Structure 1
């Protein structure tokens, strides 16, 4: 395993299109780092630059103590797992696992040992004589992972490896990938657009937007203290509710009512935005009026969609028949759960949560 350091890394394509702009990031040796963001945010481009599949047009990438900007992909000591598995259809599982080692001239005895070890780790022992067409999607993904494992690289790179799997299998595979990474201790960079995958798998979470890093931290740090409105609304399912408000000294006014918050001294009447997670609300005898438009039943909980003041919000409450669609109820929340954002810049202001 190795430490990975990106220093002001950028990628600009012909025509001046900047896909990545000044990304700086340190991934400690042995960490599981997840890059998350919507399509087009630059996360896969960053991964491909680490792999050497894209050239770096600004900044440096270092694996361990070596800057690898000009190093060929095969010499970077990395292994990459792609979204489409990239298995050879005419080769058996055992040959797919061994292919890269044979190309490197690895001795036959060592190839057999590494393939056997990877097969045992991934539960592929009984599948070694099968061809990819004879495997399920989850089994093919395990073979792709096994092909990376046998190389014993310093860094694993995963490019949205679970996006082709069904929902149940994605849950199983993300647990399996995380278990294997902890067992092997290899530094890992994992790209996904799925924020649930990102939250459940990462040691270190990197939220990207428009070719830039919005925030880096542990999943719980990012969930509880999002640095920007973008992070607040991207991380979380359902996302954080954002409401227009006004700053009033050490308080904010929301839908006509004033709530205490931990803020620096702001000019009275300054327009801000406040964020509240769906689970922060509770139905109470006193509070802000909320009109229920419709409800989503999730078994243990319900999601109530409706309006609070002039804003649309989603509220998470325990399962039950009440309130009915069309009803108006009162919502309360702990002021400590309020997140305050600058309306112009989108940056977080002060404390909260």
Structure 2
């Protein structure tokens, strides 16, 4: 196992800078997830750690060793890919053994590691099968097994579950987290799926346009997003964002709610909004919404609507919706559920 450190890492393709000075420390045994939209640079960062992509500037250290010019095979890492990367003509056992044989590992040690990994991943009954005889989930377990038998200092995962259906992805998330905890191996995982990121990570790294927007535990990023980008990327449905210049357009803040002078953005999550009671009780934030869409999602309903100025707003209600399309509903939120961002999209404190 080993810590991984990135210091002002940069990557340029000609005049286009894809990674713009990323610095990040990953502790020994930590599970860190890089999350962000397609094209943000998260997979490029992972490939740079692996040595599959050269760096333009900065330094990468694995286990205290600078690896900028170290070949991928010498970095003591194992990578799990999206497409499994299994040899179709080999059995599962042969796939697991291949990398160890190339390192001249003794046959008895190869057998021991294969059996240990196969039992851990529950693929022991499939050792003599070929990849085409396996389901997608079984193939992904084999790909993970091939990484485990290496006993590397770190695991790197590049969107390994994106080819699986939703149910199987959920099951494999649990398996990967359980496995990482039992092995205690430093792990870096790339995904664009924020649900996957939230459930797997010890710490989340939100990447946007080649830069890190915010680093923290999943709950820290959910409860205190540093920017409007993080606020809308983490959480499903996304946080509602309302421009502070629209005070007369269907929503209002109580006078005692702190806010900056000039332009700002108010954020409030759908689950923190609720219809106001008929007895006239008020909340620090209130908005009038005309409903134009309803989603029943099991134990709750998502109500989609618009304010007077056309801004979209989503709120949740428990169970089945009590309102219908075209209804006008007044909703509100408590002061501690409100997020204030400055004109540049950065989070603002209480000392305006």
In the other structure, the counterpart of 2:105 is 106
Unaligned runs of 5+ in 1: none
In the other structure, the counterpart of 2:252 is 257
In the other structure, the counterpart of 1:336 is 336
Judging changes above 3 Å, is the alpha-carbon distance between structure 1 residues 139 and 256 closer, same or farther for their aligned structure 2 residues?
Answer: closer
Judging changes above 3 Å, is the alpha-carbon distance between structure 1 residues 186 and 288 closer, same or farther for their aligned structure 2 residues?
Answer: same
Per-residue deviation at 1:256?
5.2
CA deviation map 1:74-118 (0-9, x unaligned): 110000000000000000000000100000000000000000000
CA deviation map 1:296-315 (0-9, x unaligned): 01110000000134221111
Moved over 4 A (4+): none
Q: Are 2:270 and 1:281 aligned?
A: no
Q: Are 2:263 and 1:271 aligned?
A: yes
Q: Which whole-Å CA distance do the structure 2 matches of 1:98 and 1:351 have between them?
A: 58
Is contact 2:250-2:288 (8 Å) kept?
no
Aligned-partner SS, 2:267: strand
Q: Which whole-Å CA distance do the structure 2 matches of 1:257 and 1:82 have between them?
A: 49
Q: Which whole-Å CA distance do the structure 1 matches of 2:192 and 2:252 have between them?
A: 37
Per-residue deviation at 1:291?
1.1
In the other structure, the counterpart of 2:289 is 290
Is contact 2:270-2:314 (8 Å) kept?
yes
Unaligned runs of 5+ in 2: 281-285
Where do residues 15-34 of structure 1 align in structure 2 (5 Å cutoff)?
A: 15-34=14-33
Is contact 2:294-2:321 (8 Å) kept?
no
In the other structure, the counterpart of 1:127 is 126
The two structures have a TM-score, normalised by structure 2, of 0.94
- Report the number of matched residues: 342
Is contact 1:245-1:254 (8 Å) kept?
no
CA deviation map 1:165-208 (0-9, x unaligned): 00000000010000000000000000000000000100010000
Q: Which whole-Å CA distance do the structure 2 matches of 1:6 and 1:192 have between them?
A: 19
Per-residue deviation at 1:335?
1.4
Judging changes above 3 Å, is the alpha-carbon distance between structure 1 residues 149 and 324 closer, same or farther for their aligned structure 2 residues?
Answer: same
CA-atom RMSD, angstroms?
A: 1.6
Per-residue deviation at 1:324?
1.1
Is contact 1:244-1:254 (8 Å) kept?
no
Aligned-partner SS, 1:305: strand
Per-residue deviation at 1:246?
4.5
Q: Which whole-Å CA distance do the structure 2 matches of 1:175 and 1:321 have between them?
A: 32
Q: Which whole-Å CA distance do the structure 2 matches of 1:333 and 1:168 have between them?
A: 34
Aligned-partner SS, 1:138: helix
Is contact 2:249-2:307 (8 Å) kept?
no
Aligned-partner SS, 1:2: coil
Is contact 1:35-1:190 (8 Å) kept?
yes
Is contact 1:159-1:192 (8 Å) kept?
yes
Q: Which whole-Å CA distance do the structure 1 matches of 2:322 and 2:109 have between them?
A: 64
Where do residues 123-272 of structure 1 align in structure 2 (5 Å cutoff)?
A: 123-246=122-245, 255=250, 257-259=252-254, 260-262=256-258, 266-267=260-261, 270-272=262-264
In the other structure, the counterpart of 2:283 is none
After TM superposition, the structure 1 stretch with the greater mean CA deviation from structure 2, 289-298 or 196-205, is 289-298
In the other structure, the counterpart of 2:312 is 312
Per-residue deviation at 1:330?
1.3
Aligned-partner SS, 2:331: strand
The two structures have a TM-score, normalised by structure 1, of 0.94
